[in-house]
Amino acid sequence: MSSIAVIGAGYVGATTAACLAWLGHDVVCADVDADKVRRLAAGDIPILEDHLEAVAVAGLAAGRLRFTTAVAATAAAAEFVFLCLPTPSGESGEADLSAVVAACGQIAPGLSDGTIVVNKSTMPVGSARRVEKALLAAGAASGRFSVVSNPEFLCEGSAVRGFLEPDRIVLGADDPETAGRVAALYRDVDAPVIVMTPESAEMTKYAANAYLATRLTFVNSIANLCELVGADVVEVTCGMGLDGRIGPRFLQPGPGYGGSCLPKDTAALLHAARSAGFDFELLRSVVVANSRQRERIVEKIEAQAGGSLAGAAVAVWGLTFKAGTDDLRGSPALDIIEVLVVAGAAVRAYDPVAGDAATPGLAGVDVVDDPYLACKGADVLVVLTEWDEFRTLDFDRVRGLMAGAGVVDARNALPGPWLRRLGFTYEGVGRPAGFDSLEVGNDEERQETV
């Protein structure tokens, strides 16, 4: 059993802390947000994440997991300090490391001899060296600590499973002994551990996310083409995904990737490429095409509203960036709603778990707590998150409540042929106007977005 400090109790930090305690370690998780810490310490998990509450409550009950605001003291008492801090986009797309540098300033003076600082945050190539420098500058003793890059690949909505059953564990370390000590923390996790340089580990995370963004954008482009030539993207991706060289995951078209990771990580990689003098043309095109995908959804809504959004009543189902999470960061739904509102549409929105009038990006939107109420008097219904519950609602009732008959299903989540039979003018993504298959894809796959 090792003593571990986890600095940052957000989506990654809370999951990391709870799962490391589940693996038998003695874990203290520190965050500057006193309210979050108070709730976590009481076993009241402030984020929606499958299994997290059970795993955290087990750790708290066993005394192996604690939460605190005492960042410096927590780090000082630990053999391993995991940094799970935010690295948002800066003004030019670069990763903003100020939270990481600030935390280094807090923990450096008290670090014990032999401490290993583990970067779990997504940070650009060179960041392990930068963290080392920040710690030295803030008073850590030279030669007495090591920094290891251990990027996190979990997906929100299945974070606990992603942590405890990962495809691989990537460790970037300067020496095998340090890597071995961190690898030992994951002894009971059944996954290959790949040891590499810190630079390669840092690049692995960005390359993986940029590839996933590219793949989703590619599928969206195929979907757009399917609409023009009369093919059905659901059938096409089924045929593609069974090719062992391709695989079925991350092949679901939609309103463009979003969330707190893919947009900021593609921007950071593009920034890093520019700084290194490399024109990453492919990734530049991905980012442009992704934002164009949002516009395509707006155009569909506009067409269904009779050619103008001004004065149109639009019902929105789904606000989170994907199903299974309460995370609204980078949500395509918020981007699309903002455009609708600016164009003069009256938007009434419903999401099963998130969003209220105070949510940034929802100014001027009537957020309601009932999917039917959202549809009352609407000209068009738009599905922007693939929540399962939407598929089994009473569409006869929805039809009766709406003023118009337009449905734009940006996630291919609803049974389109059934809706057409009820008199809706249903439109999905990448599906021909008259498709009559009720198949809407595998649930688990549909929900896979980082």
Ligand X SMILES: NC(=O)c1ccc[n+]([C@@H]2O[C@H](COP(=O)([O-])OP(=O)(O)OC[C@H]3O[C@@H](n4cnc5c(N)ncnc54)[C@H](O)[C@@H]3O)[C@@H](O)[C@H]2O)c1
Q: Give me the least distance between CB of 281 and ligand X, in Å please.
A: 25
Among residues 104, 155, 226, 261, the one annotated as catalytic is: 261
Stretch that binds ligand X, among 8-16, 172-180, 273-281, 336-344 (CB under 6 A): 8-16
Interaction between residue 324 and ligand X (CB under 6 A): no
Angle between helices 127-137 and 98-107 (to 10 degrees): 40
How far is residue 275 from each of residues 93, 125, 283, measured CA to CA in Å?
A: 11, 12, 15
Interaction between residue 11 and ligand X (CB under 6 A): yes
Stretch that binds ligand X, among 85-93, 181-189, 381-389, 437-445 (CB under 6 A): 85-93
Interaction between residue 102 and ligand X (CB under 6 A): yes
Q: Give me the least distance between CB of 191 and ligand X, in Å please.
A: 16
Query: Does the annotation mark 104 as catalytic?
Result: no
Stretch that binds ligand X, among 27-35, 187-195, 224-232, 281-289 (CB under 6 A): 27-35
Distance CA 168, CA 1 (A): 22
Instruction: Check if the beta carbon of residue 89 is closer than 8 Å to that of residue 75.
Output: no
Q: From the list 84, 116, 268, 367, which residue makes contact with ligand X (rule: CB under 6 A)?
A: 84
Distance CA 10, CA 115 (A): 23
Interaction between residue 32 and ligand X (CB under 6 A): yes
Instruction: Check if the beta carbon of residue 92 is closer than 8 Å to that of residue 274.
Output: no
Q: Which amino acid is at 214?
A: T
Contact letters for ligand X, residues 356-385 (x by CB under 6 A) = ------------------------------
Stretch that binds ligand X, among 52-60, 98-106, 346-354, 402-410 (CB under 6 A): 98-106
Question: Which pair of structure tokens corresponds to residue 423?
Answer: 């008199």
Contact letters for ligand X, residues 36-65 (x by CB under 6 A) = x-----------------------------
Name the helix (H) or strand (E) containing 71: helix 71-76
Interaction between residue 86 and ligand X (CB under 6 A): yes
Q: From the list 19, 30, 375, 413, which residue makes contact with ligand X (rule: CB under 6 A)?
A: 30
What DSSP line would sit under 374-417, residue for residue?
Answer: HHTT-SEEEE-S--GGGGGS-HHHHHHH-SS-EEEETTS-S-HH
Interaction between residue 261 and ligand X (CB under 6 A): yes
Q: Which is nearer to ligand X, 18 or 349 (CB)?
A: 18
Instruction: Check if the beta carbon of residue 431 is closer than 8 Å to that of residue 409.
Output: no
Interaction between residue 85 and ligand X (CB under 6 A): yes
Distance CA 297, CA 294 (A): 5
What DSSP line would sit under 166-203, residue for residue?
Answer: -S-EEEE-SSHHHHHHHHHHTTTS-S-EEEE-HHHHHH
Q: Give me the least distance between CB of 184 and ligand X, in Å please.
A: 22
Residue 147 forms beta bridges with which residues?
117
Residues 6+ apart with CB under 8 A from 169: 150, 183, 186, 189, 191, 192, 193, 194
Q: From the list 54, 73, 76, 99, which residue makes contact with ligand X (rule: CB under 6 A)?
A: 99
Interaction between residue 7 and ligand X (CB under 6 A): yes
Q: Give me the least distance between CB of 347 and ligand X, in Å please.
A: 27
Q: Which is nearer to ligand X, 304 or 449 (CB)?
A: 449
Catalytic residue numbers, as ranges: 261
Provide the binding-site residues for ligand X, judged by CB under 6 A: 7-13, 30-33, 36, 71, 84-87, 99, 102-103, 106, 121-122, 152, 154, 156, 260-261
